[in-house]
A and B are shown apart, each in its own frame.
Chain A
Amino acid sequence: MRLVPLLELRGLSVSLPAEPAPVRALRGLDLELLPGERLALVGESGSGKSTALLAIAGLLPDEAEITGGRRFPALGREPTPGRDLGLVLQDPFASLDPVLSVGEQIGEVLVAHRGARWAEARRAAVVLLGRVGIAEPEARVDDPPHRFSGGQRQRIAIAMAIAAGPRLLLADEPTSALDTVVQAQILDLLDGLVREQGTALLLVTHDLAVAGRIADRIAVLYAGRLVECGPAALLLRHPRHPYTRALLAIARALEAGTGGPLAAIPGTPPEPGAEPPGCSFAPRCPLAFARCAEEPPAWRGHARDGVACHRADR
């Protein structure tokens, strides 16, 4: 039996206004997320991963030019941010109001989306603060955000994002501003919460190890296009796209500390508007041949597992 996807992107393209020419941040993205599934969207700056997250959340600026489809089949309607979609950003200060107490901010989500009264919302906020690991939540619920450390603020932002029991949690680099010890704690927390609640997770990260820690499936973006996606364990052990291979080679060299050059990928991603006609990675790819520069590689595989590379012929 085939599960009805929670989220389906079909040929999603997004152009953002810029000088001298609009930036084509996404160029035909197909993606599917099942209920309760955990997908990591991995890429570097300019890959389009954050644009994809904003597009899914319906938070792109009005000037953005959007083509292609974004549907929520399992929901059967347009999602309401806050109720159906929770959002966690890199900088918790961006999602927390500096003058309101953390209890008021978490409570507000419940009042707005679950019709709670303020007294019960405050009690629920105490419970949520406890669930995200804030010690003595009863004593802290009336504190403003600046009384908490960076890691604690991210926990509070997560409490707000999950307060209304959303079907989908969207997290944009939720741990990249945190040190490794706090990062591991926050990933453990996110992992536990989405498992308990059966929430689907779409995590945007530049870090393949973070993706591997929390995701069932990984999708790798480069210059606005999907280059590879597949089950996390398989993709990390057996990458097919030369870009994924190169990223993993660097990450493994840093883990192993064997010395010598890190075999960095030469060059930089294409400037927006200057994407080559063929494969966007071709100018940096050690395996590129004539066809790569001329013709964008077709997607091989299916929506949940595949690769876009001329070299990936079976």
Chain B
Amino acid sequence: MSGPAPLLEVEGLTKRWPGATAPAVTEVSLAVASGERVALVGASGSGKTTLARLILRLVEPDRGSIRFAGRDLLALRGEALRRIRAELQLVFQDPLAALDPRRRVGAQVADPLRAHRLVPRSGRTAAVAALFERVGLDPALARRYPHELSGGQRQRVAIARALASRPRLLLLDEPVAQLDVSVKAQILDLLERLRREDGLAWLLITHDLGVARAASDRILVMAEGRIVEEGPTAAVLAAPRAPATRALVAAELRLPPLDPRDLSATAPSANPRTT
């Protein structure tokens, strides 16, 4: 593909866990361009979580390369790695596990500002308040502890903290899987607004095809550690080719269509009765 160099470029990534019969991730290559929304879907055990952990360098691959913003991520150490990590942030499924239960959430959102020396000490309270407002939280909530917030509020805190270091790529690992339907929609709308404002890109890991449809333009399907299908999200999900993609699409529960008389209605009305 021509055009500018991708923001994230993974090539031939392979990881086998000691003692495992098959590699968790085999020869995976993928690219995410600046500002692009890419979904990575697959069933449990398909290797998508291991792939995410490899990209974050939480585990080291056996083979392959990861380039981020033109730098060889696997060769970076120490300060250089820390600096580039500011631009690659993670938001994951359970914000309660991501947040320290003993510290006020405002202080935790301030952590990256301090660690990456982005904002002087005197400006931190105002910067945290601004981040809270960007993610739709009342800045007064900064003084609360994680358990004093709802699940949706905690996920907003986690997003605020991820945004604090001005990332270019978000790795979203099942970011709405534990949220209620109405909150899920709010968080997906929020992520999209922030992406447009900041020109963010993301790699969204999910097993929920609805979430992939809403929040990606391109989709990668993983099965048994390999990427088995790739393409524009709408096209791949409308006409899946790989057996793993077909299985995911077939398993998706679909609602019956809305009664056509209701499509334009704005006020609820009683059910028509036949008896």
Task: List the interface of chain A (C-beta within 8 A of B).
Answer: 44-45, 149-150, 178-185, 187, 206-210, 212-213, 230, 233-234, 236-242, 245-248, 250-257, 259, 261-265, 268, 287, 300, 305, 307, 309, 311-312, 314
Contacts and interface: CB of A to CB of B under 8 A. Distances in A.
B269 A240 contact: yes
Interface residues of B, number: 46
B182 A264 contact: yes
Contacts of B188: 262, 264
Contact of A248 (B151, B209, B255): B255
B212 to A, nearest CB: 8
Given A210-B253, A237-B256, A248-B258, A257 B234 contact: yes
Contact of A268 (B152, B211, B267): B152
A82 B247 CA distance: 35
B213 interface: yes
Interface string B237-256: 10000000001101111111
A307 B268 contact: yes
Nearest to B234: A257
Contacts of A184: 250-253
Contact of A264 (B186, B247, B272): B186
B96 to A, nearest CB: 13
B268 A44 contact: no
B270 A44 contact: no
A130 to B, nearest CB: 23
Interface string B76-106: 0000000000000000000000000000000
B256 A250 contact: no
Interface centre among B189, B253, B257, B259 (most CB of A within 10 A): B253
SS class, residues of chain B in contact with chain A: helix
Interface centre among A181, A210, A253 (most CB of B within 10 A): A181
A265 to B, nearest CB: 4
Nearest to A254: B210
Nearest to B262: A238
A212 B248 contact: no
B137 to A, nearest CB: 12
B171 to A, nearest CB: 19
Nearest to A228: B268
14 contacts: A44-B182, A45-B151, A180-B209, A181-B248, A183-B253, A184-B251, A187-B253, A206-B181, A212-B255, A240-B270, A247-B181, A250-B182, A254-B213, A265-B182
Contacts, number: 143
Given A184-B251, A311-B267, 15 more contacts: A44-B180, A181-B247, A187-B253, A236-B255, A237-B256, A238-B258, A240-B270, A248-B255, A250-B181, A252-B255, A257-B214, A257-B233, A257-B237, A264-B186, A287-B268
A234 B250 CA distance: 24
Nearest to A183: B251
Contacts of A241: 268
Contact of B183 (A183, A240, A268, A305): A268
Contacts of B253: 180, 183-184, 187, 207, 209-210, 212-213
Contacts of B208: 180, 254
Nearest to B177: A176
B126 interface: no
Interface string B111-145: 00000000000000000000000000000000000
Q: Which 4 A-B pairs rank lowest in CB-CB distance, beginning with the nearest?
A: A257-B213, A254-B210, A264-B185, A44-B180
A237 to B, nearest CB: 5
A245 B44 CA distance: 32
B20 to A, nearest CB: 15
A135 B230 CA distance: 33
A312 B265 CA distance: 13
Given A181-B251, A233-B256, A240 B271 contact: yes
B189 A206 contact: no
B195 to A, nearest CB: 13
A261 B43 contact: no
B214 A180 contact: no
B207 A179 contact: yes
A305 to B, nearest CB: 7
Given A248-B255, A257-B214, A257-B233, A312 B268 contact: yes
Contacts of A246: 182
B240 to A, nearest CB: 13
B3 to A, nearest CB: 22
